[in-house]
């Protein structure tokens, strides 16, 4: 009997200076702690390595990028193709010139705290309180406490689908509430953010106030991905969820948070299907009750098992 050899995906990918890993459990790369494997995960060594990969990869290769996984639900069947993660030192550099801070895409938002305090630069306190990495803040125009990433971006360095590295202004990102028209085939390499002179005391005060608010009003140290649904214009998603009687809903190991009903929690043994089904159930009930259709704020990737 003739057996045909079927090469693994790694065998047909271009040689890179970074690292390929096969069948990586994405549950270890998301805050929900659920999801199937990445067929291949690629960790580029630097921007030139990523450019080489994009220019030489197989045509129509399924490809996506993940950041800190704080706003991500990966389905139980995992993600086919290549998942890119910019976590090498080249993507974690920070530089300061005047009142501008340039951060690599892999810099954690929380790392900005020390930079701001050491250099007495304010204006990014809101960003420090958002879980995740800098590169992931653009696609959803991340924001809280009355500020959004679009308010502080000066420019961005990106790589496009042709492997070309370009610098673009904030107007080209077309950022709006929790969304953007940022092309799916562009990858953020770094962001340059505007700050303003401040005092260590004032910066620390804002950071402490925001941390205290989140600790009191949002689930803390829980397996969650933050706000599940966008606020409809002029309304609050949590109020619609509460009004529709969804506060005590659960599916398998997934449940609505007791502290904030726009947060879904993995109680420990949830599957991605549990979480997504719970979210879709809430959407359905809110629509039946209020005629308003909630939109997912959490990004969902991958295939069903």
Confidence of residue 183 (pLDDT cuts 50, 70, 90): confident
Distances (CA, A) of 261 to 2, 75, 117, 149, 247: 57, 22, 34, 25, 6
Same domain flag for 80 and 162: no
Residue 58 sits in a domain of what CATH number? Answer: 3.30.43.10
Residue 291 sits in a domain of what CATH number? Answer: 3.90.78.10
The answer to whether residue 266 is domain-embedded is yes
The answer to whether residue 3 is domain-embedded is no
Q: Regarding predicted confidence, which is higher, 75 or 136?
A: 75
Question: Secondary structure of the chain in the HEC alphabet?
Answer: CCCCCCCCHHHHCCCCCCEEEEEEEHHHHCCCCCCCEEEEEEECCCHHHHHHHHHHCCCCCCEEEECCCCCEEECCCCEEEEEEECCCHHHCCEEEECCEEEEECCCEHHHHHHHHHHHCEECCHHHHCCCCEHHHHCCCCCEECCEEHHHCEEEEEEECCCCCEEEEEHHHHCEECCEECCCCCCEEEEEEEECEECCHHHHHHHHHHHHHHHHHHCCCCCECCCECECCCCCCCHHHHHHHCCCCCCEECCEEECCCCCCEEEECCCCCHHHHHHHHHHHHHHHHHHHCCCCCECCEEECCCC
Average pLDDT, the chain: 91
Same domain flag for 13 and 76: yes
Same domain flag for 68 and 150: no
Same domain flag for 99 and 207: yes
Same domain flag for 292 and 260: yes
Confidence of residue 1 (pLDDT cuts 50, 70, 90): very low
Tell which of 216, 241, 269 closes a domain. 216
The answer to whether residue 2 is domain-embedded is no
Tell which of 44, 63, 85 closes a domain. 85
Same domain flag for 67 and 163: no
Q: Regarding predicted confidence, which is higher, 18 or 135?
A: 18
Domain that holds residue 53: 9-85
**pLDDT tens, 239-290?**
999 999 999 999 999 999 999 999 999 999 999 999 999 999 999 999 999 9
Same domain flag for 101 and 62: no
Same domain flag for 97 and 79: no
- Report how far residue 83's alpha carbon sits from residue 66's, in angstroms, rounded to the nearest whole number: 7
26-30, 95-99, 128-132, 143-147, range with the lowest pLDDT: 143-147
- Report how far residue 78's alpha carbon sits from residue 27's, in angstroms, rounded to the nearest whole number: 9
The answer to whether residue 192 is domain-embedded is yes
- Report how far residue 191's alpha carbon sits from residue 209's, in angstroms, rounded to the nearest whole number: 26
Same domain flag for 97 and 208: yes
Residue 131 sits in a domain of what CATH number? Answer: 3.30.465.10
Same domain flag for 226 and 207: no
Q: What are the φ and ψ backbone dihedral angles of 41, each rounded to 5 degrees?
A: -110, 135
- Kindly report the CA angle at 179 between 293 and 151, in degrees rounded to 5? 130
Q: Are strands 147-148 and 143-144 parallel, antiparallel or unpaired?
A: antiparallel
- Output the pLDDT for position 180: 59
Tell which of 85, 110, 139 closes a domain. 85
Same domain flag for 72 and 97: no
User: Could you tell me the two tokens for 263?
Assistant: 């947060």
CB 88 within 8 A of CB 18: yes
Residues involved in catalysis: 178, 227, 297
- Report how far residue 229's alpha carbon sits from residue 296's, in angstroms, rounded to the nearest whole number: 4
**pLDDT tens, 189-212?**
999 999 999 999 999 999 999 888
Total domains present in the chain: 3
Nearest to 39, CA basis, from 16, 70, 13: 13
Same domain flag for 167 and 181: yes
């Amino acid at each position: 009997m003739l057996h045909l050899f079927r090469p693994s995906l790694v065998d047909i990918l271009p040689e890179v200076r970074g690292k390929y890993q096969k069948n990586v459990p994405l549950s270890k790369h998301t805050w929900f702690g659920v999801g199937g494997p990445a067929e291949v995960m690629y960790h580029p060594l630097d921007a030139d390595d990523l450019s080489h990969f994009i220019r030489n990869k197989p045509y129509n290769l399924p490809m996506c990028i993940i950041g800190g996984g704080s706003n991500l639900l990966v389905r139980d069947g995992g993600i086919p193709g290549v998942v890119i993660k910019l976590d090498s030192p080249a993507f974690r550099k920070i530089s300061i010139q005047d009142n501008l801070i340039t951060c690599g895409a892999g810099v954690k938002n929380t790392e900005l705290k020390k930079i701001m305090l050491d250099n007495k630069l304010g204006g990014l306190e809101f960003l420090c309180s958002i879980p995740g990495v800098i590169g992931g803040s653009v696609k959803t125009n991340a924001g809280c406490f009355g500020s959004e990433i679009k308010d502080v971006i000066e420019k961005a360095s990106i790589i496009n689908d042709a492997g070309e590295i370009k610098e673009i202004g904030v107007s080209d990102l077309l950022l709006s509430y929790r969304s953007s028209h940022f092309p799916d085939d562009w990858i953020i390499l770094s962001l340059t953010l505007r700050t303003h002179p401040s005092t260590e005391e004032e910066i620390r005060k804002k950071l402490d106030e925001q941390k205290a608010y989140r600790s009191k009003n949002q689930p803390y140290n829980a397996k969650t991905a933050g706000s599940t649904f966008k606020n409809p214009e002029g309304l609050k998603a949590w109020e619609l969820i509460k009004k529709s009687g969804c506060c005590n809903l659960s599916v398998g190991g997934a449940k609505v948070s007791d502290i904030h009903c726009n947060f879904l929690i993995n109680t420990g043994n949830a599957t991605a299907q549990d979480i997504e089904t719970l979210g879709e159930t809430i959407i359905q009930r809110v629509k039946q009750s209020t005629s308003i259709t909630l939109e997912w704020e959490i990004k969902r990737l991958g295939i069903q098992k």
